[in-house]
Structure 1
Amino acid sequence: MPENTRALGVLVKVDRAKPSVALVARIRDANKRYFTYELGTLDSTNWTFKEVELFGSRRPWRQLFPQRPLSLMSVSIVETNARGELDPGSILLDSIKARRSTGEVENIETFSSVDGWHVLKNVPDAEKDRIELSSVSAKGDGSLLYAWSGGSPITARGVYPGADPSPMPALASVSFLRDSEHSIGDNLTISLGGRRSSVRITDSFDYFPTLNTIEDKFILVGLEPALTNTNIGALLGGITPNEIWLSAEPGLSEDEWSDLVISLKNETPFPIGSVLDTRDALSKANIDPLVKAGWKALLFIAFGAILLLSAIGFVSHAYVSFRNREVQFALMRTIGLSMNQLISLIWLEQALIIIVGMSLGTWMGARLGAVIMPFLGSDDQGAQVVPPFIMQVDWTNLLTTYLGMVVVFTLVIVGVIFLIRRMSLNRALRLGEM
């Protein structure tokens, strides 16, 4: 529509008088807000010019006014009698005119062709509606014939300009595809804000912020096409986003951030329902650094004590085993085993004990974690948390721990070998005879 449009008019002719049926226009302003204007009722079968002031007719207590430039989104007919039904009929649209603030009238659509105009199919009753180019017109240059079937009252039925309507691309949750038995590439008809819209599933997703895809099913569409498809056929107000995410620019101070949150909470004249400050939520959920350090120190002491006890146990086992088998080692030396062969035997024996013990402990720890840890993946209501709880093994730290254990056990084995090297064959054999 022209920049300084003051009024909008449509030259129409209806097949029969319908005093309870109104002709309405749906307008979108520069801020992408939608407004509905009633041009008049279809109370005459003659060519009639229906016009409405876009600014002067607004009630003074309404604080929202369209922001130029304006765009005409649709032209519709509405049965205003809520107790009645919309009867089938047809209407000829000869031209759409815009009156500037200077008084100049400009044709913005002459309907010499109906290419680029489509039927609103936001309700099931509109499936049989049709448009075509008619030779009947006020000036003989053609008009748009719109024929509609019967339907419900207080529902917009009409036409809108634009490109060929095609399904909106959409992403479907894996849970939706699984339960609905649809697949990628399918076309669906869904309800957006109570209005029918066609979508095409182009891909799927497992998780999405703020959505519980485990318990519910979702379809994601682009904001702009969704708002356009749902609002061009609406009558009052418009479908608008009810939740937005804001991210601060780098370098924003804490005071500036707090002022922003306060200003959002006190926004006028249209207050916001609630504001969730993730910084505040995370700061409340964050563990005190001293407490966190204390827990780390406690875990370090606990694991260190376990490692120390394991080392003491292994030292005790190695020493007792050496004393009990001292005679056997002496006999092996006397029958011809060299010291290197005896040391190799000790290394092999202790290595087998360590490898089997650590492998068995690792396997038992993994099984124990698989049984106990999943219980941490539920909230206080018993529902599974999103994203789901996944148990992962920090192999870097685990291998570091294993390396420390290997070093300790190696030192113990070296000590045992040192005792074997100092062993006296005569003394050991005399002990064996006693």
Structure 2
Amino acid sequence: RYQTIPGVTSVTMAFRDRGTLGANYTGNTFRMLAVEADDFHYYSWYRDDFSRSTLPEVMRALNPLSVSEPVTLPDDAVAVGVWLKPEELYPNMYMWLVLQDADGVLDTQSLGNMGPPNWHLRTLEVPERMKRPVQLASIQIFEPVFGPAGTAGSILIDDVHAINGDGRIEYLEDFEDTASSWLPLATSTLSSDVLTFSDDDVNRGDLSGLFTFGKDTDNGLRGIYRSPSGGPVPVVASNSFLRTSGARVGDALIVELKGRFVPIQVRDSVDFFPTLNPSGAGFLIADLETLIRHINILSPALVATPNEMFIEKASGAGDSVNSVVTRMVGRDLVHDREQQLEQVRLDPLITAGWQAMVLLAMAIIIFTAGLGYITYLLAFSNRSRNEMGFLQSVGLSSRQMAGLLMLEHFIIVAVGIGLGSGAGWLMSDLMVSSVAVTENGRQVVPPFILETDFRFLAPLYLVLISIFALAVYRLTRSMRNLDFHAISRMD
């Protein structure tokens, strides 16, 4: 509905939350932002100093290297079957299947008790209320315990299949492909659960899936799930997050989001990112669809949905879009970048005071530099008259004398302008850094960048160089008219 608002050119969704890093959840809370990676760089504002990579490169790092095909049930499937063989009898464990319909709604169905330690078939009916096509998202083991109090063990899984109305079987997953995208559910930051492939004991074919699980559980759950990204969630981390976690680009780790453990892999790093503050434990950026699908598969009972949006206005739309959106969601939930920048520009100290000060400073610089240089040339002319006369008497031509004078004074002027400009930039940096702080005394994020406005500086340099050229020209002409007889009579 936001796309239909007059003046809106595009709408991109986002998900913002906080997560926890490490086994000790105290003080290691980071910020999480998931955006539509394919489109975000078209609308977002970004600065070159935010990262070594450009914004399109940062967004490409969020895309999965390979997209795994979902395990999709036929539209006429009425039941799902799984062949199981527990390592031993687990009387207090239950097998669950998590199904996902065409709208992304997840439904957890129970296969009952794990059963005896031999190959046996467990089936369940596909709920008719689920919109087709239906996908198998996860195979889970539930034990009514909490935390690291579960029973360690293993279970063989093979020949997951769908059954249609006339009893025909279609195999969905036979675990014959060792490059399968099934991943174990992360039950803790140091989860030891692993899915391997076994050729020692199979129900059919050459291989079966061997799921080995430890004592750690996530609210009693363990299991495997079909990774939407073919592996951990690709993320881009702030450098502050990397320092806090001790991770590096390319490392895989587990973080806690919305009460569930999510495996991630750091693909790139940035210093800053729009709307995120790198202070504390920093932040992570992920692709919206990839992260949402991971979280929802891991936690069907707590569904994650986008909770933010970025709206791009057409040029000339004015405040109409802002007014409509404000009426829809409330004033406190709307942040307009143009209005915030306009409030800064309307500051009279910036728009009037500083501009007048710049013009006054230019006039003072031209007056003092010109006066100082002309005074120096007059003193130089009187002091060097004998030297110039001697050089001409030994054979230097007027052109050679002019070149010598121009070279000498060009070096003086170049060094003077260079040192003055460098000192000015250094002083500006010191002045800005002392005021670029928040009301709490912290550094402004992102940090200020000094920009040189050559609309003012170029004319200033031009005037100073013109004064230099005119003064040297007058000095050269005066040296051509030296009175050698008067010079020869001087001591």
TM-score in terms of structure 1 length? 0.65
Change in CA separation of 1:370 and 1:106 when aligned onto 2, cut-off 3 Å: farther
Alpha-carbon offset, residue 367 of structure 1: 3.7
**1:42, 1:386 → 2: CA distance?**
55
Residue pairs, 1:25-64, within 5 angstroms: 25-31=97-103, 33-39=104-110, 41-42=112-113, 49-51=123-125, 53=127, 55=129
Task: Indicate whether 1:307 and 2:366 are aligned.
Answer: yes
C-alpha contact 1:155 1:235 (8 A) present in aligned 2: no
**1:166, 1:423 → 2: CA distance?**
88
Superposition RMSD on alpha carbons, in Å? 5.4
User: Gapped runs of 5+ residues in structure 2?
Assistant: 1-71
C-alpha contact 2:83 2:121 (8 A) present in aligned 1: yes
Which amino acid is the alignment partner of residue 127 of structure 2? E
Q: Give percent identity, aligned residues only.
A: 21
1:209 paired residue number: 274
Task: Indicate whether 1:359 and 2:422 are aligned.
Answer: no
C-alpha contact 2:106 2:297 (8 A) present in aligned 1: no
2:302 paired residue number: 237
**1:345, 1:91 → 2: CA distance?**
97
Q: Secondary structure at the match of 1:373?
A: helix
Task: Indicate whether 1:227 and 2:285 are aligned.
Answer: no
Give the one of 191, 196, 199 matched to 2:255.
Answer: 191
Which amino acid is the alignment partner of residue 187 of structure 2? V
**1:67, 1:371 → 2: CA distance?**
67
Change in CA separation of 1:150 and 1:174 when aligned onto 2, cut-off 3 Å: closer
1:409 paired residue number: 468
Alpha-carbon offset, residue 73 of structure 1: 0.6
Moved more, 313-322 or 277-286: 313-322
Give the one of 379, 392, 408 matched to 2:437.
Answer: 379
2:46 paired residue number: none
Which amino acid is the alignment partner of residue 35 of structure 1? L
Change in CA separation of 1:354 and 1:161 when aligned onto 2, cut-off 3 Å: closer
Change in CA separation of 1:415 and 1:8 when aligned onto 2, cut-off 3 Å: same
Q: Secondary structure at the match of 2:217?
A: coil
Alpha-carbon offset, residue 255 of structure 1: 5.0
Which amino acid is the alignment partner of residue 277 of structure 1? D
Alpha-carbon offset, residue 379 of structure 1: 1.8
Change in CA separation of 1:321 and 1:331 when aligned onto 2, cut-off 3 Å: closer
- Rg bigger for which structure? 1
Change in CA separation of 1:399 and 1:308 when aligned onto 2, cut-off 3 Å: same
**1:106, 1:245 → 2: CA distance?**
48
C-alpha contact 1:174 1:205 (8 A) present in aligned 2: yes
Alpha-carbon offset, residue 296 of structure 1: 3.1
Give the one of 142, 147, 158 matched to 2:223.
Answer: 158
Alpha-carbon offset, residue 260 of structure 1: 5.3
Give the one of 247, 256, 267 matched to 2:312.
Answer: 247
1:43-86 per-residue CA deviation (whole Å, 9 max, x = no partner) reads 9769664446363xxxxxxxxxx765432211223224659954
1:121 paired residue number: 185
**2:249, 2:108 → 1: CA distance?**
40
Change in CA separation of 1:87 and 1:344 when aligned onto 2, cut-off 3 Å: closer
Alpha-carbon offset, residue 131 of structure 1: 6.9
Q: How many residues align?
A: 402
Change in CA separation of 1:131 and 1:148 when aligned onto 2, cut-off 3 Å: farther
Which amino acid is the alignment partner of residue 236 of structure 1? A
C-alpha contact 1:23 1:78 (8 A) present in aligned 2: yes
Q: Which protein has greater RCO, CA pairs closer than 8 Å, 6+ apart?
A: 2
1:60 paired residue number: none
Give the one of 246, 249, 257 matched to 2:321.
Answer: 257
**1:297, 1:84 → 2: CA distance?**
69
Change in CA separation of 1:314 and 1:38 when aligned onto 2, cut-off 3 Å: same
Give the one of 422, 426, 433 matched to 1:370.
Answer: 426
1:59 paired residue number: none
User: Gapped runs of 5+ residues in structure 1?
Assistant: 56-65, 267-271
C-alpha contact 1:169 1:221 (8 A) present in aligned 2: yes
